């Protein structure tokens, strides 16, 4: 069997930058990564790379930034007042912070420290990078169609299913709008 969209797969992988620096490895964690191919939970190029692979097959791919985390967005820099942090917070240029904002949880890099404010870079740490992966396909499972009773589900559950399918919904969409989008897909 060869991997197709909708299959659940398990892969081992090693990710490196163009200079050879390793940024991630399932081998180091001692556990393969599982995901549904085409679900948009993975970066597009990685999901596309496993298409057509067979169990036990290994392949090396290079993903341009457009198929990985995209280009760096200069609009993703945000100035935050220093008082938004705890008094004992230790600021360090290049340091990473986690927080919650109006759009939910975020990860940011401290790029500049001023007397009254901190400049944060909200770009993904690998944005703008070409990524290399060594991928080994460990297993494939065909995904049986799942039948949902949409009307009995909570809006938040419907929203997650719709986002996983890549549908154009947002948190302002009504439950009926999300159900309509799911049924039209």
Kindly list the distances between the CA atom of residue 9 and the CA atoms of 23, 32, 52, 158, 160, in Å, as whole numbers in the listed order.
22, 9, 12, 23, 20
Average pLDDT score over residue span 49-68: 97
Evaluate if residue 177 carries a pLDDT over 80: yes
Predicted confidence (pLDDT) per residue in 141-155, tens digit: 875 555 567 888 888
Residues 6+ apart with CB under 8 A from 25: 13, 14, 15
Domains defined along the chain, listed by start: 1-71+128-145 (3.10.50.40), 74-121 (2.40.10.330), 147-185 (no CATH)
Rounded Cα gap, residues 182 and 185, in angstroms: 5
* Strand pairing category for 77-81 and 104-113: unpaired
Predicted confidence (pLDDT) per residue in 86-122, tens digit: 888 999 999 999 887 777 788 899 999 999 999 999 9
Least confident of 12-21, 43-52, 103-112, 158-167: 158-167
Contact predicate 137/54, CB 8 Å: yes
Is the whole-model pTM more than 0.85? Answer: no
């Amino acid at each position: 069997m060869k991997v197709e969209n909708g299959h659940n797969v398990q892969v081992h992988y090693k990710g490196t930058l163009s200079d050879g620096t390793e940024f991630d490895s399932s081998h180091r964690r001692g556990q393969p990564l599982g995901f549904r191919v085409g679900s948009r939970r993975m970066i597009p190029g990685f999901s596309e790379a496993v298409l057509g692979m067979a169990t036990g097959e290994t392949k090396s791919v290079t993903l341009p930034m457009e198929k990985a985390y995209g280009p760096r967005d200069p609009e993703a820099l945000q100035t935050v007042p220093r008082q938004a942090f705890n008094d004992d917070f230790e600021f360090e240029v290049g340091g990473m912070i986690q927080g919650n904002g109006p759009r939910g949880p975020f990860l940011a890099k401290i790029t500049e420290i001023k007397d009254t404010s901190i400049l944060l870079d909200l770009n993904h740490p690998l944005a703008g990078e070409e990524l290399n992966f060594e991928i080994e396909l460990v297993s494939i499972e065909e995904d049986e169609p799942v039948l949902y009773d949409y009307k009995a589900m909570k809006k938040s559950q419907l929203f997650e299913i719709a986002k996983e399918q890549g549908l154009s919904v947002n948190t302002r969409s009504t439950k009926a709008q999300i159900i309509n989008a799911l049924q039209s897909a």
